[in-house]
Chain A
């Protein structure tokens, strides 16, 4: 262990960090009490874990194999661009299926559904519904 070169130590550290982060994110997905809290684990922690694995791969292939490719960068770009969008879509689908009368998160102690926004306009995701219903059926 003492004669390991620093690049190996760096790659190993990145791999261990990535594995632990991926596990913690999925543990959060399995153990959190409601969907709105469950969204936090996969969207942030697991994405970070995959990013760490990709960094390890990005160091490993040029340093150990002598080959270089831009694939890791592309995967990182796609994952980090799409993770917030998927989280937003899932939360929105959940809100609309629950309806605004029911609190989507039972841990919040809000018995009577979603609170008022306090800025004059309502929740943006529910604002367009009346206009949609006014559309003639196709």
Chain B
């Protein structure tokens, strides 16, 4: 497992665990990507989803499963995941751009319209990104969620931004 040896998840691993949304679902708009493939005792994402799209059940170590039909990609689960392992991806954002929303607990926070360096799961810069929004309401409990617009082809790769 790349995650155990190298510390990052691969798309293949996500697919293997049934955690990578289908292309059909991506075509319909924003959707959550839950990058959690180890059975750890944790379930706040399940209660976080207002549409019950995330299921864990018992025991608490069961992997989360996303019901992609119920998921609206609202992103509430992003800040609720203690592992910071949930993202939302919108491949329908515009003709040539997709957006990726990710948790970002560093200061300074980026600001709207800022151009940042978007990074992949290994921290490598893959492209430039434009900040669409930065949400940091009280309910997120100090886990701001940043949404960045990037070229569509990098939507499955980009998962954060380079720290400033």
| Chain A partners chain B | no
Residues of A with Cβ closer than 8 Å to B? none
